[in-house]
């Protein structure tokens, strides 16, 4: 498995080696030893999610209060999505920056984003199926969002699907009405960089 750290510190792209023959394909989409070598600690698995989305569905930007936060290890087992990580840690040298990874059923990459980062993805195919391993369970009162179309962040979302037709973005009411990065900062919703680092230094 090849591992590449993204430009948002605390996030990585993981590309598995695939072994194919006339029967199909085999790959390891998660391997603890490789993960620990890259990240520095094991992934504590508390919940596993599966999301199926039509082309144009945009989910996020989602994040959770730290502690404990919610780290995510994400891959797309069917279809394709543009998966995006956003640095929302107040005080971070890269605050407000973002990076993306194309997750699809061809290269079968995964993305890992650690606690305190924002996460979003745009489905590029109908029935795109995303599965992700989470370090903590869903806690409604500790989960928040930022508008994924916030021009201050400036995420460059694709305008066409993987097959080339124009995408019409579809957001939930909650995501569409989520605050901007500036508003979330002013409301005190965002994790602080020093607090996230302190929490993560205690992970083993």
Residue boundaries of the structural domains of the chain: 2-201
Question: Which tens digits make up the pLDDT trace of 161-170?
Answer: 999 999 999 9
Question: Which tens digits make up the pLDDT trace of 13-48?
Answer: 999 999 999 999 999 999 999 999 999 999 999 999
The pLDDT of residue 165 is 95
* Burial class of residue 106, CB neighbours in 10 A (0-12, 13-18, 19+): exposed
DSSP result, the chain: -EEEE-SSTTEEEEE--EEEETTEEEE-S--HHHHHHHHSS-----EEEEEEE-TTBEEEEEEE-TTT---EEEEEEESEEEEEEEE--BT-TTTT-EEEEEEETTT--EEEE-TTEEEEEEE-STTEEEEEEESS---GGGEEE--TT-TTT-----SB-TTSPBP--B--HHHHTPPPHHHHHHTT-SPBHHHHHHHHHT--
Beta-carbon contacts of 198 under 8 Å, excluding residues fewer than 6 positions away, are none
Residue 73 has pLDDT above 90, yes or no: yes
How much is the mean pLDDT over the chain?
97
Residue 203 has pLDDT above 90, yes or no: no
Q: Which residues are catalytically annotated? A: 62, 132
The hierarchical CATH code for the domain 2-201 is 2.60.120.10
Residue 204 has pLDDT above 90, yes or no: no
- For the CA atoms of the chain, what is the radius of gyration? 16
Mean pLDDT in residue range 131-142: 95
pTM score of the predicted model: 0.96
Share of the chain above pLDDT 90, in %: 98
Token pair listed for 99 = 């990076």
The pLDDT of residue 13 is 98
Mean pLDDT in residue range 75-82: 98
């Amino acid at each position: 498995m090849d591992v590449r750290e993204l430009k948002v510190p605390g996030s990585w792209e993981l590309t598995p080696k695939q072994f194919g023959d006339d029967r199909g394909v085999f790959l390891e989409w998660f391997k603890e030893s490789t993960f620990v070598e890259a990240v520095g600690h094991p992934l504590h698995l508390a919940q596993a999610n599966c999301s199926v989305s039509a082309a144009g569905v945009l989910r996020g930007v989602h994040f959770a209060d730290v502690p404990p936060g919610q780290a995510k290890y994400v891959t797309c087992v069917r279809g394709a999505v543009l998966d995006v990580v956003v640095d929302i840690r107040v005080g971070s040298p890269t605050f407000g920056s973002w990076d993306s990874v194309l997750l699809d059923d061809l290269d079968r990459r995964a993305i890992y984003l650690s606690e305190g980062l924002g996460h979003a993805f745009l489905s590029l195919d109908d029935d795109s199926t995303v599965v992700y391993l989470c370090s903590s369970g869903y806690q409604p009162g500790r989960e928040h969002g930022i508008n994924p179309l916030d021009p201050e962040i400036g995420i460059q979302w694709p305008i066409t699907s993987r097959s080339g037709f124009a995408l019409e973005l579809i957001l939930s009411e909650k995501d569409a009405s989520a605050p901007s990065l500036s508003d979330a900062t002013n409301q005190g919703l965002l994790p602080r960089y020093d607090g996230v680092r302190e929490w993560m230094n205690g992970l083993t």
